[in-house]
Structure 1
Amino acid sequence: RVMYTITKWIEHKLGLKVNATKTHITRPNKLKYLGFGFYYDTKDKKYCARPHASSIQRFKRKLKQLTIRKNTMALNERIRQLNQVIRGWINYYSICNMKTHMMNIDKHLRTRLRVIIWKQWKVPSKR
């Protein structure tokens, strides 16, 4: 009943079309909106934004794709591509609180890059 009145108001007053299959009323911490998730900060007594868990997983998959060991590309080119992806992701989610997520991703990415450098160095002519 509440949903119908809100939908009716949005469609008639604002002149917008409401997609009933996508639209629902819920608490912000159960919502995913444009890749953002929300949580309630008890210290500040307000809802804050963070990247949604599925967005973080998609970002990790992209980084993993760029740091596959068997992918033969120069290290400078690989780092350039990683910088593009990371810079774009951080700029998009710049309003979020994501320090712990980024620290974990950074730690994992450094390890993967170290493995790539070790793999490139470990050839018979370089021993």
Structure 2
Amino acid sequence: IQLHKSFGFLLLGLIILRIAWRLGNQAPALPPSVGTLERRAAPLAHFALYAFQVALPLSGWALVSVSTLEIPTMPFNLFVMPNLPLTESDASESFWTSAHWYLAYAGIALVALHIAAALRHHFLLRDAVLTRIITPSSSGE
């Protein structure tokens, strides 16, 4: 379980860096072939992906913080991560266990939909959306 928590904290740190980078850099323009509905849906889908990537590790951190087992969290056995200032209780632990579980499965569904949409653009619509996703660009385009 320590390894699970370690990677959760690592991913939380990486997504915070990714969000900071994203706030300072403009997203590449969508190809002209992308319709109005998809242009409106894309930012919402990306926001949902970012929100999931923050919410999932935070729910895990909340879970270990309220656990009555009081097992210390030691990311990669380097240091003890302090708990969030939440009240320990069986009811809170049950809530955060469910929240973490549901967020994980909702995130899997969200990522699957995102992959399906990217593959649809690449193989059915044959536009440059997938190329835009996987090709680094120094100009932000």
Give the structure-1-normalised TM-score: 0.30
The structure whose residues are more often strand, as a share, is 1
Q: Which has the larger radius of gyration?
A: 1
The structure whose residues are more often helix, as a share, is 2
